[in-house]
Amino acid sequence: MAFELPALPYARDALAPHISANTLDFHYGKHHQAYVTNLNKLVEGKPAASMPLEEAIKKSWTDKDMGVFNNAAQIWNHTFYWHSMKPNGGGKPTGEIGERITRDFGSYEAFAEQFKQAGATQFGSGWAWLVLDGGKLKVTKTPNAELPLTAGQKALLTMDVWEHAYYLDFQNRRPDYIGTFLDKLVNWEFANKNLA
C-alpha cells in the first residue's frame, strides 16, 4: 500500500490573489509530491509501508528514523496546512474556537499577536500552530518537519513558514504573508472541526 498525495480541498487558483496558482503548482505539485515519493522509497519492504501515516510518524519519531519521520511528517503537515486555509477565509473566528480563543488568550487580538510572533520568529524553516494542550489552547512553533503530535498536543490549525510557502508571492516579506494568512485565508471551520 503506497502512500499517496492527498487531493487539495480546492482548485490550485482558489486562494489567489493571496497565494497564487504558481505557488501551489510548486508547493503542492512539487514539494508535497516529493515527500510522498521519498517516503514510498524509504519504507519499501518495511512495516511502515502498510501503516497509517500517523502511526508511521510516531514510530519513526520513537525509532529516531529521521528520513522516514521527516517525509511522513511533511506529508501530514502539508495536508493539514492546505485544510487550514480556504478561499474567502480569514478574520475573527466564530463558534467554539472563537469562544475558546477569547477564554484562553484574552482576546482574538492577543491570539493573533502570539500567532504572528510564532510565525515571524521561527528561525529558518518550520510551522506556527494553534494547538490544544491539556485542555487549553496554545500557540506553538516547530522547526523543520516537527509537529504537535510528537509533543502530545492536538493540532487545530497550522501555517507553513518554510520559504517555499510564500516566496513566489511575498518574496522575503514573511510578516506580510502571516498577516494575509490570518486576515484572508485562515479556515476557522476546520479549526472548529478539529476542536470537536
Domain boundary among 62, 83, 104: 83
Q: Are residues 129 and 188 in the same domain?
A: yes
Q: What share of the chain in percent tops pLDDT 90?
A: 93
Q: How many CB atoms lie within 10 A of CB 76?
A: 20
- Check residue 1 and give its pLDDT: 64
- Check residue 119 and give its pLDDT: 96
Q: Are residues 57 and 127 in the same domain?
A: no
Q: How many CB atoms lie within 10 A of CB 107?
A: 11
- Answer whether 55's CB lies under 8 Å from 69's CB: no
Res. 60: pLDDT tops 80: yes
Domain of residue 60, residue span: 21-83
Q: Are residues 29 and 76 in the same domain?
A: yes
pLDDT tens digits, residue range 146-172?
Answer: 999 999 999 999 999 999 899 888 999
Q: Are residues 102 and 190 in the same domain?
A: yes
Q: Are residues 79 and 103 in the same domain?
A: no
pTM: 0.96
Q: Are residues 59 and 111 in the same domain?
A: no
Q: Are residues 113 and 181 in the same domain?
A: yes
Per the structure, the count of domains in the chain is 2
CATH code, 173? 3.55.40.20
Domain boundary among 83, 107, 137: 83
Segment 166-182 shows an average pLDDT of: 93
Q: Are residues 104 and 78 in the same domain?
A: no
Which of the four pLDDT bands, split at 50, 70 and 90, describes residue 12? very high
Cell for 89?
477565509
Of 161, 169, 2, nearest in space to 81 by CA:
161
- Check residue 93 and give its pLDDT: 97
- Check residue 169 and give its pLDDT: 86
Q: What DSSP character marks residue 5? A: P
The strand order across the sheet containing 154-160 reads 136-143, 126-133, 154-160
The CA-based diameter of the chain, rounded to the nearest angstrom, is 51
pLDDT, greater one: 70 or 124: 70
- Tell me what the pLDDT averaged over the chain comes to: 96
Residue type, 20: S
pLDDT tens digits, residue range 83-134?
Answer: 999 999 999 999 999 999 999 999 999 999 999 999 999 998 999 999 999 9
Q: How far is CA 181 from CA 48, 85, 168, in A?
A: 34, 8, 15
pLDDT tens digits, residue range 16-49?
Answer: 999 999 999 999 999 999 999 999 999 999 999 9
Determine the Cα–Cα distance for residues 102 and 111; give it in Å rounded to an integer.
8
Of 163, 165, 166, 114, nearest in space to 141 by CA:
114
In a domain? residue 63:
yes
Q: How far is CA 157 from CA 25, 111, 132, 138, in A?
A: 22, 13, 10, 11
